[in-house]
Amino acid sequence: MAVGAFAFLLRLGYVVLVDEPLLFRHQYHYFRGGLLVAENPHPWSFIVHSDEWRMWDGMWTLAPGYFWFLAAGFRLGGFHLFPIQVAQCALEAGTAVLVAHLARRAATPRLGLLAGFVYALYWPSVEQPSRTMTENLHTFLLVAAFAAVIGLVLREGTDGAAEEPPPKSAGRGLRAGVLFGLSALARAVGMAFLPLTLVWLVFEKGQRRRWAAAAGVVAGLGLVIAPWVARNWWVIGDPSPIESVSLANLWEDNAFARDARFERQHHYLMEAQDAREREALVWRFVLRGLRERGDYPAKVWGNVRHFLRPDGLWLLLGAEQPWPAWQHATRLVFDDGIVFLTLPLFVAFLAGGRPPPLRSCRS
């Protein structure tokens, strides 16, 4: 409760005091799509039979979950941004609570509380609820799925000490799979964690029935995703299971087309007869780019450097963002500071293994 209340009030304070407007194309795009669904007199038919509300760049589709979230918010709270922002503050506060829960189960109650407060202070998470971006919904659902998976393999005793893992069941796996499916409908990249989860469940040592738990996860995922896949394939004629914008990312990042060549490829994609022809063109362009250009190693190295760079420091000295001093300071302390302090601590935690039961007690 303490972590949740602190995280919620901090994010709500940022929304009210900073009053940041919607910035950049993505935020307005999601806002518009949510309005299209909410204002339609027949929203369910509109969602099933049209992709107008989730189109990107005239030919790609985005994951539907966050549009539904915005549409529901508009229907319930009126056509205003502030009720959406308050709901997103609650979601991010819930994520902080789930982080505390995960750390508590993996380590000790005190470390769980500390992890929850650290996440509550993490500055990208503080800023996020003021913006209409899919991370607001996806992050909460994905961390909730992780918490459900932890519930499959670990149980805590009444004294706070870790016990033997309980027998796994298809029912518990089903709950985790449903959460994974919902997170994937909000942002399809969440599907990347599913194979890791299944491998963990199948090969985790200890109790039996782990195959039943893994099967439950797959069944829960299918229960959520299958109706949307069927809608895409047979109603719309789109071969992508959730969205097709991942094809756009694949093409833009791996075809290595520049200037005139990029414009020609973009023209061919726009002129494609349907989504299946567009998908075939993307793979053709990507394979040609990988075969003819030697830019891929440089791209991988650039991505590694991007992932490891201190983002707050880069925004100050590299991008030279014209922000107030307090905004740069908060990023340096509560973004770079948290990331580069917790990474070595996390490595030390992994190297040290699980604490003995005595250290895990609340006392």
Residues in a beta bridge with 97: none
% of the chain with per-residue pLDDT over 90? 44
Same-domain status, 279 and 150: no
Question: Is 131 a member of any domain?
Answer: yes
Same-domain status, 19 and 114: yes
* pLDDT in the model for residue 362: 47
Question: Is 320 a member of any domain?
Answer: no
* pLDDT in the model for residue 186: 94
Q: Given CA atoms 60, 62, 64, 67 in this order, what sign does their dihedral have? A: negative
pLDDT band at 194 (very low <50, low <70, confident <90, very high): confident
Same-domain status, 255 and 235: no
Same-domain status, 135 and 223: yes
Same-domain status, 29 and 79: yes
Domains of the chain: total: 2
Same-domain status, 109 and 254: no
Question: Is 314 a member of any domain?
Answer: no
| Measured distance CA(163)–CA(338) in Å, rounded | 31
Same-domain status, 256 and 234: no
Same-domain status, 238 and 337: yes
Same-domain status, 120 and 236: yes
Q: To 10 degrees, the CA torsion angle through 6, 10, 11, 17?
A: 160
For residue 265, the enclosing domain spans 246-308
Same-domain status, 51 and 134: yes
Question: Is 26 a member of any domain?
Answer: yes
Same-domain status, 346 and 250: no
| pTM score of the predicted model | 0.87
Q: Find the mean pLDDT for residues 36-54.
A: 94
pLDDT exceeds cutoff 80 at 358: no
* pLDDT in the model for residue 314: 87
Question: Is 266 a member of any domain?
Answer: yes
Same-domain status, 238 and 303: no
Question: Is 79 a member of any domain?
Answer: yes
